[in-house]
Amino acid sequence: MKVTPYEVQGEIDYDKLIKEFGTKPITDELLERIKKHTGELHEVLRRKIFFSHRDLDLILNEYERGNKFVLYTGRKPSDNVHIGHLLVWKFTKFLQDKFNVELYFQMTDDEEFLFKKRSLEEANKFAYENALDVIACGFDPKKTKIIIDTEYIKTMYPIALKVAKHLTLSTSKAVFGFKNDNNVGQVFFTCMQSVPALLPSVLKGEPTQVLIPHAIDQDPHFRITRDIAPKLGFPKPASIHSIFLPGLKEGGKMSASDPMSAIFVTDTPEQIKKKIMNAFSGGRETTEEHKKLGGNPDIDIPFQYLRIFFEPDDVKLKKIYDDYKAGKILSGEMKQICLEKAIEFIEDHQKKREGSRKVVDKFILRD
Ligand code: TRP
Protein backbone atom coordinates (compact mmCIF):
# COMPACT_ATOMS: atom_id res chain seq x y z
CA MET A 1 0.00 0.00 0.00
CA LYS A 2 1.32 3.42 -0.93
CA VAL A 3 -0.58 6.68 -0.35
CA THR A 4 0.80 10.11 -1.25
CA PRO A 5 -0.94 13.04 -2.98
CA TYR A 6 0.68 11.90 -6.22
CA GLU A 7 0.38 8.14 -6.00
CA VAL A 8 -2.17 5.77 -4.50
CA GLN A 9 -1.33 2.11 -4.91
CA GLY A 10 -2.33 -1.30 -3.60
CA GLU A 11 -5.09 -2.50 -1.31
CA ILE A 12 -5.97 0.39 1.02
CA ASP A 13 -6.17 -0.53 4.70
CA TYR A 14 -7.65 2.56 6.36
CA ASP A 15 -6.91 1.46 9.93
CA LYS A 16 -3.30 0.97 8.96
CA LEU A 17 -3.26 4.42 7.31
CA ILE A 18 -4.45 6.02 10.56
CA LYS A 19 -1.48 4.40 12.32
CA GLU A 20 1.05 5.14 9.58
CA PHE A 21 0.01 8.77 9.19
CA GLY A 22 -0.53 9.27 12.91
CA THR A 23 -4.09 10.62 12.56
CA LYS A 24 -7.03 9.82 14.87
CA PRO A 25 -10.12 7.75 14.05
CA ILE A 26 -13.50 9.50 14.22
CA THR A 27 -15.01 7.89 17.29
CA ASP A 28 -18.67 7.61 18.25
CA GLU A 29 -18.01 10.08 21.09
CA LEU A 30 -16.71 12.63 18.62
CA LEU A 31 -19.76 12.06 16.41
CA GLU A 32 -22.03 12.71 19.40
CA ARG A 33 -20.21 15.99 19.98
CA ILE A 34 -20.60 17.03 16.33
CA LYS A 35 -24.29 16.10 16.48
CA LYS A 36 -24.85 18.64 19.26
CA HIS A 37 -24.09 21.34 16.71
CA THR A 38 -25.39 19.88 13.46
CA GLY A 39 -28.51 18.07 14.62
CA GLU A 40 -28.85 15.10 12.26
CA LEU A 41 -25.43 13.79 11.22
CA HIS A 42 -24.58 13.69 7.54
CA GLU A 43 -24.57 10.12 6.22
CA VAL A 44 -20.86 10.29 5.42
CA LEU A 45 -20.27 10.75 9.15
CA ARG A 46 -22.80 8.10 10.24
CA ARG A 47 -21.21 5.66 7.80
CA LYS A 48 -17.62 6.61 8.68
CA ILE A 49 -16.82 7.59 5.10
CA PHE A 50 -15.11 10.52 6.77
CA PHE A 51 -13.20 8.25 9.12
CA SER A 52 -10.16 10.08 10.42
CA HIS A 53 -9.08 13.53 11.61
CA ARG A 54 -6.44 15.75 13.10
CA ASP A 55 -7.51 18.10 15.93
CA LEU A 56 -11.21 18.10 15.09
CA ASP A 57 -11.78 17.95 18.86
CA LEU A 58 -9.79 21.18 19.28
CA ILE A 59 -11.87 22.86 16.56
CA LEU A 60 -15.03 21.94 18.51
CA ASN A 61 -13.52 23.17 21.79
CA GLU A 62 -12.86 26.56 20.24
CA TYR A 63 -16.25 26.64 18.49
CA GLU A 64 -17.96 25.96 21.80
CA ARG A 65 -16.06 28.91 23.27
CA GLY A 66 -17.52 31.07 20.51
CA ASN A 67 -14.52 31.03 18.18
CA LYS A 68 -15.58 30.19 14.65
CA PHE A 69 -13.29 28.25 12.36
CA VAL A 70 -12.86 28.66 8.62
CA LEU A 71 -13.21 25.77 6.14
CA TYR A 72 -10.61 25.16 3.46
CA THR A 73 -10.58 22.63 0.64
CA GLY A 74 -9.40 22.58 -2.96
CA ARG A 75 -8.96 21.06 -6.36
CA LYS A 76 -6.23 20.59 -8.95
CA PRO A 77 -8.30 21.89 -11.90
CA SER A 78 -8.78 19.57 -14.83
CA ASP A 79 -11.42 18.20 -17.19
CA ASN A 80 -12.31 15.26 -15.02
CA VAL A 81 -14.37 16.16 -11.97
CA HIS A 82 -15.93 12.92 -10.75
CA ILE A 83 -18.27 12.00 -7.92
CA GLY A 84 -15.29 11.20 -5.66
CA HIS A 85 -14.51 14.93 -5.69
CA LEU A 86 -18.14 15.88 -5.10
CA LEU A 87 -18.19 13.59 -2.06
CA VAL A 88 -15.82 15.96 -0.26
CA TRP A 89 -17.40 19.17 -1.57
CA LYS A 90 -20.94 18.20 -0.64
CA PHE A 91 -19.81 17.33 2.86
CA THR A 92 -17.97 20.66 3.06
CA LYS A 93 -21.22 22.39 2.11
CA PHE A 94 -22.99 20.54 4.96
CA LEU A 95 -20.33 21.81 7.38
CA GLN A 96 -20.68 25.36 6.03
CA ASP A 97 -24.44 25.28 6.54
CA LYS A 98 -24.46 23.69 9.97
CA PHE A 99 -21.64 25.71 11.52
CA ASN A 100 -22.38 28.85 9.50
CA VAL A 101 -18.76 29.38 8.54
CA GLU A 102 -16.67 30.70 5.67
CA LEU A 103 -14.99 28.49 3.06
CA TYR A 104 -11.80 29.14 1.12
CA PHE A 105 -11.61 26.92 -1.94
CA GLN A 106 -8.21 26.68 -3.64
CA MET A 107 -7.87 26.02 -7.39
CA THR A 108 -4.30 24.88 -7.88
CA ASP A 109 -3.80 25.62 -11.56
CA ASP A 110 -0.08 25.84 -10.75
CA GLU A 111 -0.16 22.24 -9.46
CA GLU A 112 -1.97 20.96 -12.56
CA PHE A 113 0.66 22.65 -14.73
CA LEU A 114 3.63 21.39 -12.73
CA PHE A 115 2.48 17.80 -12.34
CA LYS A 116 0.56 17.09 -15.55
CA LYS A 117 1.16 17.42 -19.26
CA ARG A 118 -0.91 20.56 -19.52
CA SER A 119 -0.14 24.14 -20.46
CA LEU A 120 -0.56 26.78 -17.80
CA GLU A 121 -3.23 28.47 -19.90
CA GLU A 122 -5.28 25.28 -20.09
CA ALA A 123 -4.91 24.64 -16.38
CA ASN A 124 -6.13 28.16 -15.65
CA LYS A 125 -9.13 27.70 -17.95
CA PHE A 126 -10.07 24.55 -16.04
CA ALA A 127 -9.95 26.48 -12.79
CA TYR A 128 -12.93 28.49 -14.08
CA GLU A 129 -14.73 25.41 -15.43
CA ASN A 130 -14.27 23.48 -12.19
CA ALA A 131 -15.43 26.50 -10.20
CA LEU A 132 -18.86 25.86 -11.77
CA ASP A 133 -18.90 22.36 -10.28
CA VAL A 134 -17.93 23.72 -6.89
CA ILE A 135 -20.60 26.43 -6.97
CA ALA A 136 -23.17 23.85 -8.13
CA CYS A 137 -22.76 22.15 -4.75
CA GLY A 138 -24.69 25.08 -3.28
CA PHE A 139 -22.09 27.03 -1.30
CA ASP A 140 -23.16 30.37 0.15
CA PRO A 141 -21.80 33.12 -2.13
CA LYS A 142 -21.45 35.48 0.84
CA LYS A 143 -19.30 33.01 2.75
CA THR A 144 -17.33 31.27 -0.01
CA LYS A 145 -14.16 32.46 -1.70
CA ILE A 146 -12.48 30.66 -4.55
CA ILE A 147 -8.75 31.25 -4.86
CA ILE A 148 -7.00 30.68 -8.20
CA ASP A 149 -3.32 30.29 -7.38
CA THR A 150 -1.82 32.01 -10.43
CA GLU A 151 -4.21 34.97 -9.99
CA TYR A 152 -4.30 35.53 -6.23
CA ILE A 153 -0.53 35.21 -6.08
CA LYS A 154 0.20 38.72 -4.86
CA THR A 155 -1.39 37.91 -1.50
CA MET A 156 -0.27 34.30 -1.42
CA TYR A 157 3.37 34.63 -2.34
CA PRO A 158 4.71 36.22 0.88
CA ILE A 159 2.96 33.50 2.93
CA ALA A 160 4.23 30.72 0.63
CA LEU A 161 7.77 32.11 0.96
CA LYS A 162 7.61 32.05 4.74
CA VAL A 163 6.59 28.40 4.60
CA ALA A 164 9.27 27.61 2.01
CA LYS A 165 12.06 28.89 4.23
CA HIS A 166 11.21 26.19 6.79
CA LEU A 167 10.89 23.31 4.32
CA THR A 168 14.07 21.49 3.39
CA LEU A 169 14.60 19.45 0.27
CA SER A 170 15.25 16.36 2.34
CA THR A 171 11.86 16.67 4.10
CA SER A 172 10.13 17.16 0.76
CA LYS A 173 11.83 14.04 -0.66
CA ALA A 174 10.97 11.97 2.39
CA VAL A 175 7.32 13.06 2.49
CA PHE A 176 6.45 12.89 -1.22
CA GLY A 177 9.06 10.48 -2.50
CA PHE A 178 10.48 13.10 -4.90
CA LYS A 179 13.65 12.17 -6.77
CA ASN A 180 16.34 14.24 -8.42
CA ASP A 181 14.41 14.38 -11.69
CA ASN A 182 11.34 16.05 -10.16
CA ASN A 183 11.09 19.67 -11.25
CA VAL A 184 11.72 22.33 -8.61
CA GLY A 185 8.20 23.74 -8.96
CA GLN A 186 6.85 20.44 -7.67
CA VAL A 187 9.04 20.72 -4.60
CA PHE A 188 7.85 24.28 -3.94
CA PHE A 189 4.19 23.55 -4.61
CA THR A 190 3.36 22.21 -1.14
CA CYS A 191 4.08 25.74 0.16
CA MET A 192 1.27 27.02 -2.07
CA GLN A 193 -1.13 24.38 -0.78
CA SER A 194 -0.25 25.48 2.75
CA VAL A 195 -1.24 29.09 2.14
CA PRO A 196 -5.07 28.91 2.46
CA ALA A 197 -4.59 27.12 5.79
CA LEU A 198 -2.80 30.22 7.11
CA LEU A 199 -4.47 32.92 5.03
CA PRO A 200 -7.56 33.44 7.26
CA SER A 201 -5.25 34.41 10.15
CA VAL A 202 -3.45 36.88 7.88
CA LEU A 203 -6.63 38.41 6.42
CA LYS A 204 -8.40 38.67 9.77
CA GLY A 205 -5.31 39.84 11.61
CA GLU A 206 -5.78 37.34 14.43
CA PRO A 207 -5.12 33.61 14.89
CA THR A 208 -7.95 31.79 13.12
CA GLN A 209 -8.63 28.04 13.25
CA VAL A 210 -8.94 26.28 9.91
CA LEU A 211 -10.61 22.91 9.26
CA ILE A 212 -9.73 21.11 6.02
CA PRO A 213 -12.07 18.41 4.70
CA HIS A 214 -10.12 16.28 2.21
CA ALA A 215 -9.43 12.76 0.98
CA ILE A 216 -6.71 11.14 3.09
CA ASP A 217 -4.12 11.21 0.28
CA GLN A 218 -3.63 14.98 0.79
CA ASP A 219 -2.52 14.51 4.39
CA PRO A 220 1.24 14.64 3.59
CA HIS A 221 0.88 18.28 2.47
CA PHE A 222 -0.87 19.26 5.67
CA ARG A 223 1.59 17.37 7.87
CA ILE A 224 4.13 19.83 6.54
CA THR A 225 1.79 22.80 7.07
CA ARG A 226 1.09 21.72 10.64
CA ASP A 227 4.77 21.36 11.35
CA ILE A 228 5.62 24.84 10.08
CA ALA A 229 2.53 26.89 11.10
CA PRO A 230 3.51 27.37 14.77
CA LYS A 231 7.01 28.47 13.73
CA LEU A 232 5.33 31.33 11.86
CA GLY A 233 2.95 32.14 14.71
CA PHE A 234 -0.13 30.52 13.12
CA PRO A 235 -2.40 27.84 14.62
CA LYS A 236 -2.01 24.37 13.11
CA PRO A 237 -4.82 23.59 10.67
CA ALA A 238 -7.15 20.71 11.57
CA SER A 239 -8.36 18.13 9.06
CA ILE A 240 -11.17 15.65 8.51
CA HIS A 241 -10.31 12.82 6.12
CA SER A 242 -12.43 10.77 3.73
CA ILE A 243 -11.78 7.37 2.24
CA PHE A 244 -11.37 7.13 -1.55
CA LEU A 245 -14.38 6.31 -3.64
CA PRO A 246 -13.62 2.84 -5.05
CA GLY A 247 -13.24 2.57 -8.81
CA LEU A 248 -16.01 0.92 -10.81
CA LYS A 249 -13.79 -2.01 -11.60
CA GLU A 250 -12.38 -4.45 -9.06
CA GLY A 251 -9.75 -2.86 -6.77
CA GLY A 252 -8.27 0.64 -6.86
CA LYS A 253 -9.82 4.05 -6.37
CA MET A 254 -11.95 6.11 -8.70
CA SER A 255 -9.31 7.56 -10.95
CA ALA A 256 -9.51 10.53 -13.25
CA SER A 257 -6.96 8.95 -15.58
CA ASP A 258 -9.09 5.85 -16.25
CA PRO A 259 -12.45 6.89 -17.76
CA MET A 260 -14.08 3.50 -17.16
CA SER A 261 -13.21 3.61 -13.44
CA ALA A 262 -15.12 6.78 -12.65
CA ILE A 263 -18.44 8.59 -13.07
CA PHE A 264 -17.63 12.08 -14.30
CA VAL A 265 -19.94 15.05 -13.81
CA THR A 266 -19.95 15.51 -17.58
CA ASP A 267 -21.05 11.93 -18.38
CA THR A 268 -24.18 11.34 -20.44
CA PRO A 269 -26.84 8.89 -19.19
CA GLU A 270 -25.60 6.40 -21.83
CA GLN A 271 -22.03 6.62 -20.56
CA ILE A 272 -23.15 6.21 -16.96
CA LYS A 273 -25.24 3.20 -17.95
CA LYS A 274 -22.36 1.52 -19.72
CA LYS A 275 -20.04 2.05 -16.78
CA ILE A 276 -22.41 0.89 -14.07
CA MET A 277 -23.55 -2.15 -16.05
CA ASN A 278 -19.89 -3.16 -16.35
CA ALA A 279 -19.07 -2.41 -12.71
CA PHE A 280 -17.62 -5.05 -10.42
CA SER A 281 -20.45 -7.05 -8.85
CA GLY A 282 -20.74 -9.06 -5.65
CA GLY A 283 -23.38 -11.26 -7.26
CA ARG A 284 -23.18 -14.98 -7.95
CA GLU A 285 -22.28 -16.69 -11.22
CA THR A 286 -25.85 -17.70 -12.05
CA THR A 287 -29.26 -16.33 -11.11
CA GLU A 288 -30.18 -19.63 -9.55
CA GLU A 289 -27.14 -19.64 -7.33
CA HIS A 290 -27.69 -15.98 -6.43
CA LYS A 291 -31.28 -16.59 -5.37
CA LYS A 292 -30.21 -19.54 -3.24
CA LEU A 293 -27.00 -18.20 -1.69
CA GLY A 294 -27.41 -14.42 -1.95
CA GLY A 295 -24.92 -11.77 -3.08
CA ASN A 296 -22.15 -9.94 -1.24
CA PRO A 297 -22.99 -6.21 -0.93
CA ASP A 298 -19.72 -5.52 0.90
CA ILE A 299 -17.73 -6.00 -2.31
CA ASP A 300 -20.47 -5.02 -4.77
CA ILE A 301 -19.48 -1.70 -6.36
CA PRO A 302 -23.01 -0.50 -7.26
CA PHE A 303 -24.05 -1.12 -3.64
CA GLN A 304 -20.94 0.67 -2.37
CA TYR A 305 -21.80 3.69 -4.50
CA LEU A 306 -25.25 3.79 -2.96
CA ARG A 307 -23.68 3.60 0.50
CA ILE A 308 -20.96 6.17 -0.09
CA PHE A 309 -22.77 8.61 -2.32
CA PHE A 310 -26.21 8.05 -3.79
CA GLU A 311 -28.51 6.81 -1.01
CA PRO A 312 -28.70 9.08 2.06
CA ASP A 313 -31.58 7.14 3.66
CA ASP A 314 -30.22 4.53 6.11
CA VAL A 315 -33.47 2.57 6.23
CA LYS A 316 -33.66 2.22 2.45
CA LEU A 317 -29.99 1.35 2.27
CA LYS A 318 -30.30 -1.38 4.88
CA LYS A 319 -33.22 -2.94 3.05
CA ILE A 320 -31.22 -3.04 -0.18
CA TYR A 321 -28.29 -4.55 1.72
CA ASP A 322 -30.40 -7.22 3.39
CA ASP A 323 -32.35 -8.09 0.24
CA TYR A 324 -29.16 -8.48 -1.77
CA LYS A 325 -27.64 -10.74 0.85
CA ALA A 326 -30.82 -12.80 0.94
CA GLY A 327 -30.78 -13.19 -2.85
CA LYS A 328 -34.00 -11.17 -3.27
CA ILE A 329 -32.24 -8.49 -5.28
CA LEU A 330 -30.22 -9.74 -8.27
CA SER A 331 -26.98 -8.10 -9.30
CA GLY A 332 -28.59 -6.64 -12.45
CA GLU A 333 -31.29 -5.12 -10.25
CA MET A 334 -28.69 -3.65 -7.91
CA LYS A 335 -27.03 -2.03 -10.91
CA GLN A 336 -30.38 -0.65 -12.01
CA ILE A 337 -31.04 0.92 -8.58
CA CYS A 338 -27.62 2.56 -8.62
CA LEU A 339 -27.96 3.65 -12.23
CA GLU A 340 -31.26 5.46 -11.67
CA LYS A 341 -29.84 7.34 -8.70
CA ALA A 342 -26.66 8.18 -10.62
CA ILE A 343 -28.43 9.56 -13.67
CA GLU A 344 -30.82 11.60 -11.55
CA PHE A 345 -27.91 13.04 -9.58
CA ILE A 346 -25.70 13.87 -12.56
CA GLU A 347 -28.53 15.48 -14.52
CA ASP A 348 -29.41 17.65 -11.56
CA HIS A 349 -25.75 18.58 -11.08
CA GLN A 350 -25.34 19.53 -14.73
CA LYS A 351 -28.34 21.86 -14.51
CA LYS A 352 -27.00 23.56 -11.40
CA ARG A 353 -23.56 23.75 -13.01
CA GLU A 354 -24.88 25.72 -15.99
CA GLY A 355 -26.81 27.96 -13.63
CA SER A 356 -23.60 28.89 -11.81
CA ARG A 357 -21.96 30.46 -14.88
CA LYS A 358 -23.53 33.83 -14.20
CA VAL A 359 -22.44 33.99 -10.57
CA VAL A 360 -18.91 32.62 -10.80
CA ASP A 361 -17.26 36.06 -10.60
CA LYS A 362 -18.91 36.68 -7.23
CA PHE A 363 -17.00 33.74 -5.77
CA ILE A 364 -13.49 34.48 -7.00
CA LEU A 365 -11.19 36.19 -4.55
CA ARG A 366 -9.09 38.96 -6.09
CA ASP A 367 -6.21 40.97 -4.73
N1 TRP B 1 -3.78 19.03 -4.24
C2 TRP B 1 -5.20 18.87 -4.36
C3 TRP B 1 -5.49 17.94 -5.57
O4 TRP B 1 -4.63 17.38 -6.15
C5 TRP B 1 -5.90 20.16 -4.52
C6 TRP B 1 -6.00 20.91 -3.23
C7 TRP B 1 -5.44 22.13 -2.91
C8 TRP B 1 -6.70 20.49 -2.07
N9 TRP B 1 -5.73 22.47 -1.64
C10 TRP B 1 -6.51 21.50 -1.09
C11 TRP B 1 -7.48 19.35 -1.77
C12 TRP B 1 -7.09 21.39 0.17
C13 TRP B 1 -8.05 19.25 -0.51
C14 TRP B 1 -7.84 20.26 0.45
O15 TRP B 1 -6.63 17.77 -5.94
Amino acid at 367: D
Tens digits of pLDDT across the chain (367 residues) = 899 999 988 889 999 999 999 999 999 999 999 999 999 999 999 999 999 999 999 999 999 999 999 999 999 999 999 999 999 999 999 999 999 999 999 999 999 999 999 999 999 999 999 999 999 999 999 999 999 999 999 999 999 999 999 999 999 999 999 999 999 999 999 999 999 999 999 999 999 999 999 999 999 999 999 999 999 999 999 999 999 999 998 777 777 778 888 999 999 999 999 999 999 999 999 999 999 999 999 999 999 999 999 999 999 999 999 999 999 999 999 999 999 999 999 999 999 999 999 999 999 999 9
Query: How many other β-carbons are positioned within 10 Å of the β-carbon of residue 315?
Result: 7
CA proximity to 220, closest of 8, 3, 68: 3
Q: For the chain, how are helix, strand and coil distributed in percent, rounded to 5?
A: 55, 10, 30
Beta bridge partners of 342: none
* Pair 366, 152: CB distance under 8 Å: yes
CA of 23 to the centre of ligand 1 (A): 18
Q: Whose CA is nearest to atom 10 of ligand 1?
A: 74
CA of 132 to the centre of ligand 1 (A): 17
Mutate to test the pocket of ligand 1, among 92, 193, 219, 241 (most ligand atoms within 8 A of CB): 193
Mutate to test the pocket of ligand 1, among 214, 216, 255 (most ligand atoms within 8 A of CB): 214
Question: The CATH number of 259-354 is which of 1.10.240.10, 1.10.357.10, 3.55.50.30, 2.40.30.170?
Answer: 1.10.240.10
Query: Distance (Å, rounded) from C-alpha 74 to C-alpha 214?
Result: 8
* Pair 141, 359: CB distance under 8 Å: yes
Is 259 strand, coil or helix?
helix
DSSP alpha helices (H): ranges in 147-284? 153-164, 169-176, 184-204, 219-228, 269-277
Is 5 strand, coil or helix?
coil
Query: Distance (Å, rounded) from C-alpha 251 to C-alpha 24?
Result: 25
Is 355 strand, coil or helix?
helix
* Pair 112, 78: CB distance under 8 Å: yes
* Pair 224, 46: CB distance under 8 Å: no
Query: Distance (Å, rounded) from C-alpha 136 to C-alpha 324?
Result: 33
CA of 76 to the centre of ligand 1 (A): 6
Question: The CATH number of 2-244 is which of 3.90.1150.10, 3.40.50.2300, 3.40.718.10, 3.40.50.620?
Answer: 3.40.50.620
The pLDDT value recorded for residue 169 is 97
| Residue ranges matching CATH 1.10.240.10 in the chain | 259-354
Q: Whose CA is nearest to atom 11 of ligand 1?
A: 74
